[in-house]
Structure 1
Amino acid sequence: MLQPHIQLDESLGIRCALLPGDPARVDRIASHLQEVQELAYNREFRSLRGTYRGVPVLALSTGIGGASAAIAVEELRHIGVTAMIRIGSCGALQKEIDLGDLIFACGAIRDDGASRAYADLRYPAVPDDGLLRCCQAAAAEQGWPFHTGLVRSHDSFYIDDQEEVSNRWSALGVLGADMETAALFTVGRLRGVRTASILNNVVLWGRDTAGSIGDYAGGEDRTALGEAREILVALEALYRMEEETR
């Protein structure tokens, strides 16, 4: 059945998906795929299909925030996708995390509205352990810097007490902040979908978020390199997962 938001159906027969936030990032994913085919573009949901080392892969943008990410997870599950990796950006909450470093989320603080709509806050937002290990192994093999730990998912970085909130979570050891990981993990776990989240750091700890994101959008070198690396890590992780299940 054609899904109302992503405008895709089960005839695709694809089990693996990459979920960028930005629709423009779909083009950068395409450059690493073979047999690329544009599929649909409705609202924030832009999609294409291709193959990576023989594995069919779907790329679907989710826009900004947990609400649209949750819609993507639900509708992708309806058409047969069973593994999803977010390839997004984040702001660092620790000083040792450099621009372009990758963060692999082993859990997410559910400071968003979307995940709360699904389950009590005592329900943990965690990735699929096997898929997370595949991400770590792929990055380690290339020698690329990465950090594994908790991230905080929230609904806005323009709140009046943003600095105070960030300092509090930083003191608790949280690595970075994004807006979608908690929803991805929560909905994915509830619906039996394997999920992981790779975040490219685009804001140094203590720096202005809006200005740094503007630099990233303009193609700042180190964050652009981080984006390319997270795409390749995600693709390699999905390939490894498929090899392990054969």
Structure 2
Amino acid sequence: MFLPKLKIKTGKRSVIFFTLPEWNHAKEKILTGKNVSFLNLQIKYNEKSLILGPVIGAPFLSIVLEVLKSLGIEEIIGIGWAGKLSVKINRGDLFLPLKAYAKEGTSNFYFPKKRVFNPDKTLFERIEKEMIERSIDFKKGSIISVDAPFVFERKKVYLEKWRKKIEALDMETSALFSIGISLQIKVMVLHFIIDEVGKFFKKRPEEEIKIKRQKVFELLKDFLDYKI
């Protein structure tokens, strides 16, 4: 498969932003360095680390991770948005997936017989400890990743089945976990819960997210600078 070379030199850590709004909030705040475009991505990097976004969906994420592996990236934090299914979490919460059910098609190519994936234990525990020390409120639980969230949302049978098992829904987490395992990259994910599956909201919970986002970005900045 032909893939144009990304001719940059960087370190071993990266943050991937799944959504454009979070990327727009972060790109000028958590890393100073050079800018480059690649595969419709915006990338900022220096000699220590790299950030990029937006990366929507598991198939595109798989290409990005293969490229990052070729650059020597060894640790990745993904950050995005998810919708809640459980009463255990609320809109505006910061959510850390401990388990991801793969209902997207990409993970099947890496692990044909496996459907449940987890973040890297050491990276997760390191970031979790840092969040507690910095008084960043968060919740943990399970997530399901799908390729067609609107179809999932319209099917009551899906909602009834999965609401008993999981807290949230997204499009990328299980692929990040599965590909991370396959490529031997340490990965974990942070999500802002911005809506509820099966319900319509005209506005995102920006006020609830605002303070958490600032603290999270400070943490990500220190992660990229190897202070964590």
The TM-score range, normalised by the shorter chain, is 0.7 to 0.9
- Please list, as runs of the form range in 1=range in 2, the aligned pairs for 1:58-207 lying within 5 A after superposition: 58-122=50-114, 124-159=116-151, 161-172=154-165, 174-204=166-196, 207=199
C-alpha displacement of 1:165: 1.3
Whichever residue aligns with residue 85 of structure 1, its letter is: I
Are the equivalent residues in 1 in contact too, given 2:58–2:172 (CA < 8 A)? yes
Asked if 1:46 is matched to 2:42, the reply is: yes
Change (3 A) 1:96 1:50: farther
Are the equivalent residues in 1 in contact too, given 2:96–2:138 (CA < 8 A)? yes
Aligned-pair Cα RMSD in Å: 2.6
Unmatched runs of 5 consecutive residues or more in structure 1: none
Larger deviation, residues 162-171 vs 97-106: 162-171
Cα distance in 2 between the residues matched to 1:163 and 1:202? 21
Asked if 1:222 is matched to 2:208, the reply is: yes
Are the equivalent residues in 2 in contact too, given 1:134–1:237 (CA < 8 A)? no
Cα distance in 1 between the residues matched to 2:221 and 2:98? 19
- Please list, as runs of the form range in 1=range in 2, the aligned pairs for 1:27-42 lying within 5 A after superposition: 27-42=24-39
Change (3 A) 1:102 1:50: farther
Larger deviation, residues 82-91 vs 141-150: 141-150
Unmatched runs of 5 consecutive residues or more in structure 2: none
Whichever residue aligns with residue 136 of structure 2, its letter is: W
Whichever residue aligns with residue 221 of structure 1, its letter is: E
Cα distance in 2 between the residues matched to 1:38 and 1:46? 7
Cα distance in 1 between the residues matched to 2:217 and 2:59? 23
Q: Deviations over 1:139-182 (max 9, x none)?
A: 2122222112211101112116434313321212x121110011
Q: Deviations over 1:173-192 (max 9, x none)?
A: x1211100111111110111
Aligned to 1:20: 17
Question: Normalising by structure 1, what TM-score?
Answer: 0.80
Aligned to 1:231: 217
Cα distance in 2 between the residues matched to 1:231 and 1:163? 36
Q: Deviations over 1:115-135 (max 9, x none)?
A: 112212426421111110122
Are the equivalent residues in 2 in contact too, given 1:26–1:48 (CA < 8 A)? no
Change (3 A) 1:83 1:187: same
Q: Deviations over 1:218-241 (max 9, x none)?
A: x832234444444334444555xx
Cα distance in 1 between the residues matched to 2:71 and 2:33? 19
Q: Between Structure 1 and Structure 2, how many residues are aligned? A: 226
Change (3 A) 1:137 1:236: farther
Cα distance in 1 between the residues matched to 2:180 and 2:31? 27
Identity of aligned residues (%): 19
Change (3 A) 1:237 1:67: same
